[in-house]
Amino acid sequence: MRISKSFLFWCVAPAFLLFLVFMIYPTISVFVMSLYKWGGYSAAKTFVGLNNFRTLIEDTRFIGSFRNSVILLVIVSVITLILALWCANVLTHEKIKAKSLFRVIFYIPNILSAVVIAAIFSAIYDPSRGLANSVLGLMGIEPVMWLGNRGIVIYSIAIAMIWQATGYYMVMYMSSMSAVPYSLYEAADIEGASGTSKFFSITLPLIWTNVRTTLTFFIISSINISFLLVRAMTGGGPDGASEVFLSYMYEQSYTNSSYGYGMAIGVVVFVFSFALSALVNIATRRDIVEL
Amino acid sequence: MKLYRIFIYTAIILLAVSVAVPVLWVFMASLKQNPEFYESPWKLPDGLYLKNFVDAWKDAHMGSYFLNSVIVTVMAIAILLAVSLPCAYVLSRFSFKGRGIIKTFFMGGLFINVSYIVVPIFLMLVGLNRSLQVTFFLNNHFVLALVYASTALPFTIYLLQSYFATLPRAYEEAAYVDGCSPFRTMLQIMVPMARPSIITVILFNFLSFWNEYIIALTFMTNDVMKTLPVGLMNLMKAQNAAAQYGKMYAGLVIVMLPTLILYIFVQKKLTEGMTIGGIKG
């Protein structure tokens, strides 16, 4: 079958052009701009080499945002992973009524906008009219300033992120768990294995490839979602206490109009998340169990 | 053993409740009058105070933001399908010079997170405006839709391409023997056959375009051009200052209702499609 070159060209060109203009070019310019001092609106760009990065190391606010991002990454990933694995395991292997109803409910947060989630949790965390303090009140605990307390705010955001993410990973794990052959569990039953030992010696090894993939998702999406939520929920406040990687980048770029500096932050975050993904990938490498 | 089952049920129900209650609570709060917000947050609304929705729709302009969101989402999906279908089709069915490189580029695009490149895209548009002496590139629904479609390309092409690859070759050969042009073969034979994957693509991208706010917030500085999520952010700020809570909750319902309704109809397709795509924005 002979196909003309021009047909091929006109099919691929529009998509590839858009992709180059709106994704590849901006990505390259993040790296290039990180080497300049630039206010953005004026044409005056000065090449400063790695100066932006030198400033970055001593910027206490950047270090604070780094700290917050890492706290969120660790807490959210660990708790979400455990919750999602547990729920997926229960919904796949236990005899539970209305399984699909549970699946449908757990997935709901995934279809909501980050702004909607931010608004819902801002309302829940409201000091006087929110659900959170009223639940604490029932247990006789003093009201908490969920978003107003510098020491607590980052954990309040972590809760919202876990609420958002668990259902997504649960559905992913459920689909890989349902591919594990049932005969293995029957054999384990004959041997008298407990539910826990079945999970750790059959289920987990067999879905390990899938779990590893999601670890990379955890890193990428936690950096992204934390930005979207912080931006809409606290704006980095109170007093910078909930600033995360990308929210600080955004703030430096817009509010402070130091685009070059903002892009240097972007580069650091990009390299950090890439290196961390690679590291996690190597650390979790196991011999793949095949049947 | 019995105790264990009770524990499992309690735990999973508790988790499901903690996911569902916040959403249901918003619906409930959207029907309350202002004084009711000073009572217990658990109290059911006294009546169906629908004026909140009228206020949000009219006074807070959520109605016109809704229209903006519909325009942008529809345009973005149309552009996306128009450019990604031919591209995915050709990339998956024909071998030609440069195909490998183009495929690798698109695959690499899967790792580019939009949040990183909002700023450079914005600066590029500002630069275009300045050098061409126009204001066309910002506060423009078409440009916003174009950017949405472009950033969705890697995922969409990846998904469509893997579906096209599964279709049998016999159809194209038959069409070729009958003298059908490649363009018509693609449009009238192959694209209709890819319908399941196209539906998945539309669903996922509808959700991400409808819910997106950081690009819209950055590009749409003019109030009348804003999309729903950005409008909701305005409402969030305003309610704290003016103590008009009902309006904010009504706005919240307006933003999430379309996605919830869609979800009720297609939840199976969504949770299945996710395991094919396996990518999260």
Tell me the pLDDT of chain B averaged across its residues.
89
Residues 103-132 of A with CB under 8 A from B: 103-109, 111-116, 118-124, 129-131
- B76 in Cβ contact with B205 (< 8 Å): yes
Q: Is the pLDDT of residue B276 over 60?
A: no
- B190 in Cβ contact with B167 (< 8 Å): yes
Angstrom distance (rounded) from CA A109 to CA A159? 13
pLDDT of B278 reads 44
Which residues in chain A have their CB less than 8 angstroms from residue B172's CB? Answer: 1
Angstrom distance (rounded) from CA A150 to CA A142? 17
- Smallest Cβ–Cβ distance between B255 and the set A7, A106, A116 belongs to A116
- Smallest Cβ–Cβ distance between A263 and the set B4, B119, B232 belongs to B119
The architecture in CATH of the region B49-277 reads Orthogonal Bundle (1.10)
Strand A45-47, strand A36-38: pairing: antiparallel
Q: Is the pLDDT of residue B275 over 80?
A: no
Angstrom distance (rounded) from CA A233 to CA A231? 6
DSSP B137: T
Residue of A260, A276, A82, A265 whose CA lies nearest to A162:
A82
- A229 in Cβ contact with A118 (< 8 Å): yes
Of residues A229 and B276, which shows the higher confidence score?
A229
CB of A249 less than 8 A from some CB of B: yes
Indicate which of A6, A19, A189 best probes the interface with B, i.e. most B CBs within 10 Å of its own CB: A19
Cβ pair A22:B150 closer than 8 A:
yes
Q: Is the pLDDT of residue B8 over 80?
A: yes
pLDDT tens track for B88-103: 999 999 988 899 999 9
Residues 32-51 of B with CB under 8 A from A: 37-38, 40-42
CB of B26 less than 8 A from some CB of A: yes
Q: Tally A–B CB contacts below 8 A.
A: 240
Of residues B274 and B9, which shows the higher confidence score?
B9
| Angle of helix A60-93 versus helix A99-107 axis, rounded to 10 | 170
Alpha carbon of A44: minimum distance to chain B alpha carbons (Å): 13
pLDDT of A1 reads 58
Angstrom distance (rounded) from CA A106 to CA A184? 28
pLDDT of B176 reads 87
Mean pLDDT confidence for B251-265: 92
Closest residue in A to B172 (Cα–Cα): A1
CA atoms in the 13 A half-sphere facing the CB of A246: 24
Task: Give bridge partners of residue A45 from the DSSP assignment.
Answer: A38
- In this structure, which amino acid lies at residue B53? F
Supply φ then ψ for residue A37, to 5 degrees: -105, 120
Cβ pair A94:B186 closer than 8 A:
no
Which residues in chain A have their CB less than 8 angstroms from residue B126's CB? Answer: 40-41
Where do the domains of chain A lie, and which CATH numbers do they carry?
32-283 (1.10.3720.10)
- What tokens appear for B54 in the block? 């009228």
Of residues B45 and B13, which shows the higher confidence score?
B13
Which residues in chain B have their CB less than 8 angstroms from residue A106's CB? Answer: 15-16, 19
H-state helical runs in B30-140: 51-54, 62-93, 99-109, 114-132
pLDDT of A41 reads 63
pLDDT of B274 reads 62
- Smallest Cβ–Cβ distance between B119 and the set A19, A119, A262 belongs to A262
pLDDT tens track for B46-75: 888 888 898 889 888 999 999 999 999 999
Closest residue in B to A93 (Cα–Cα): B8
What ipTM does the predicted assembly reach?
0.89
Task: Give bridge partners of residue A46 from the DSSP assignment.
Answer: A37
pLDDT tens track for B201-240: 999 999 999 999 999 999 998 889 999 999 999 888 887 7
Indicate which of A2, A10, A17, A18 best probes the interface with B, i.e. most B CBs within 10 Å of its own CB: A18
Domain parsing of chain B, residue ranges: 49-277
pLDDT of B63 reads 92
pLDDT in tens, chain A (291 residues): 567 889 999 999 999 999 999 999 999 999 999 998 887 666 678 888 888 899 999 999 999 999 999 999 999 999 999 999 999 999 988 888 888 899 999 999 999 999 999 999 999 998 888 888 888 888 888 888 899 888 899 999 999 999 999 999 999 999 889 888 888 898 998 988 888 889 998 999 999 988 998 999 899 999 999 999 999 998 887 888 899 999 999 988 887 778 889 999 999 999 999 999 999 989 988 776 655
Grouping H, G, I as helix, E, B as strand and the rest as coil, residue A37 is strand
pLDDT of A253 reads 87
- In this structure, which amino acid lies at residue B189? I
Which residues in chain A have their CB less than 8 angstroms from residue B230's CB? Answer: 115
Taking the C-alpha atoms of B24, B30, B35 and B41 in order, what is their torsion angle to the nearest 10 degrees?
A: 10
Q: What is the pTM of this model?
A: 0.90
pLDDT tens track for B116-139: 999 999 989 988 998 898 888 999
